[in-house]
Chain A
């Protein structure tokens, strides 16, 4: 557990001082809101509003990938990744620390962009705020667990910026499916469907376990 805390602390302190991931993710999510606002301004009809949940996840998932692409870039400076690989720890907890740091950053971006979406599309999120936060967190957990694993793999490849989305996005389909369905039902009907939630919980669990167990090998050269 101390390994998890140490890696989480290191990543969050580094991010607080450089703010390169948070700024990139936040600006991207905000740009998506602006583009969508221009494409479907308020008063453009219920069919335009029906796309809002999906569009929310377009912003969150691509902002997440953007942040995950940088998650291991900080480990390349001074070959810090080699220092991490030398540490006599269960590398699964290194994975958890890195994934948790990305999760915290994505949650912050989700919160800010959800508020921007609500303002832009004149949505009252207050009645569903708690349940929307749960769905957002479950989706972010799936994105960050598998994304951290693939970010560690992609960082050593020549085309790492392209490699991560190519590897990650196809495998994220179940997470995005569950998250979009749950968000859709929440925002349009005010209900939270159990099958969508179940899909999120199962995929999150599978991704977390697989990533935790395989990180030992991934961190090797």
Chain B
């Protein structure tokens, strides 16, 4: 398998505190990985490391099958973070146009318009992001992250702030991305949504990792007890 994401011995320390114990993971095209865990477990830290926004204290991260420079590796990544990464003084459309230009996309205006339509944001396309509600800003952030059709999509609590219809649309979109060969890493507390999407789950507690897979990811009813047991195991080991 040509892995889109490979991490070996990945660690992160903040001074004396270990935010992530040595971790190995590999993700190929069309695979989705759920990252679960209580608050402060190191999930967002892991995502920032994978996105290249933070430097690991140890270990290696490889993005994409082919070797490339740092800019080429960044092109392969789409990140939906805790924050929206959008400029509040620019409109939603202007933010997407800026992203399209920074990523060197062809026909940036058409691309931005298509993405606005896909996310049902046309009605607020020319409204400044600073004036958008949390849910609309989250949809704009998703549009921004997916605009350049990244091979590896990293999502940190992507359903946060979305109404039921938008959340359902996002789930369908993520499923479609996975089917189209994109690799997904999804940090979430929403077990019901990730259960149907990911085939494997990484459970983190204070930077220590445990893996769930197979039957445990069948649905929320199976994932809930498996997750609770995994957290208890990791807390016991800590």
* A contact residues vs B (CB 8 Å cutoff): 2-3, 5-7, 9-10, 13-14, 17-18, 74, 77-80, 82-90, 216, 220-221
Between A and B, 26 residue pairs with Cβ closer than 8 Å are A2-B101, A5-B101, A6-B102, A7-B102, A13-B94, A14-B89, A14-B90, A17-B89, A18-B89, A74-B89, A77-B87, A78-B83, A79-B84, A79-B85, A80-B87, A84-B102, A86-B53, A86-B79, A87-B99, A87-B102, A87-B103, A88-B75, A88-B102, A89-B102, A90-B71, A221-B53
The 8 A-B pairs with the shortest beta carbon distances in the complex, nearest first, are A83-B85, A79-B83, A88-B75, A87-B102, A6-B101, A14-B89, A88-B74, A88-B71
Report the minimum CB–CB distance from A148 to chain B (whole Å): 18
B55: interface (CB < 8 Å): yes
Is B151 positioned at the interface, with any CB of A under 8 Å from its CB?
Answer: no
Chain A residues near B181 (CB-CB < 8 A) = none
Please determine whether A10 and B74 come into contact, CB atoms closer than 8 angstroms: no
CA of A10 to CA of B73, assembled, Å = 24
Contact check, A78 vs B90: say whether CB atoms are below 8 A apart.
no
| In the complex, chain B residues whose CB is within 8 Å of the CB of A13 | 89-90, 94
Main secondary structure of the interface of A (DSSP, over half): helix
A20 — nearest CB in chain B belongs to which residue? B89
* Inter-chain contacts of A79 with B (CB < 8 A): 81-85
The chain B residue with its CB closest to the CB of A93 is B102
Is B51's beta carbon under 8 Å from chain A?
A: yes
Task: Tell me which of A6, A83, A87 contacts B86 (CB under 8 A).
Answer: A83
A3, A74, A87: which contacts B87 (Cβ < 8 A)?
A: A74
**Are the CB atoms of A10 and B88 closer together than 8 Å?**
no
When distances are taken between beta carbons in the complex, the residues of chain B under 8 Å from A87 are 74, 99, 102-103
Write the chain B residue with the least CB distance to A13.
B90
- Residues of the A chain whose Cβ atoms lie less than 8 Å from the Cβ of B77: 86
Chain A residues whose CB sits within 8 angstroms of the CB of B73 once the complex forms:
88
CA distance in complex: A119, B27 (Å): 68
Q: What are the residues of chain A within 8 A of B228 when measuring CB–CB?
A: none
In the complex, A5 Cα to B94 Cα: how many Å?
A: 14
In the assembled complex, how far is the CB of residue A168 from the closest CB belonging to chain B, in whole angstroms?
A: 25
Hey, which chain B residues are within 8 Å of A18, CB to CB? 89
CB-contact partner of B55 in A2, A89, A216, A221, under 8 A: A221
* Contacts known (A220-B55, A221-B55); A88 close to B87, Cβ less than 8 A: no
Residue of B nearest to A77 (CB): B88
Q: How far is the CB of A180 from chain B (nearest CB, A)?
A: 36
Which residue of chain B is the closest to A90 with respect to CB atoms? Answer: B71
Whether B83 and A82, one on each chain, are in contact in the complex, defined by CB atoms closer than 8 angstroms, is yes
Which single member of B51, B86, B87 contacts A86 (CB below 8 Å)?
B51
Nearest CB on B from A93, distance (A): 10
Quote the shortest CB–CB distance from B144 to chain A (angstroms).
7
Encoded as 1 (CB less than 8 Å from any A CB) or 0, chain B from 98 to 130 comes to 110111100000000000000000000000110
Chain A residues whose CB sits within 8 angstroms of the CB of B82 once the complex forms: 79
Q: A83-B99, A87-B74, A220-B55 are in contact. List 13 more A-B contacts (CB 8 A).
A: A74-B87, A78-B88, A78-B129, A79-B81, A79-B85, A80-B85, A82-B85, A86-B77, A87-B99, A88-B73, A88-B75, A88-B103, A221-B48
A interface footprint on B180-219 (CB within 8 Å = 1, 0 otherwise): 0000000000000000000000000000000000000000
B54 sits at the interface (CB 8 A): yes
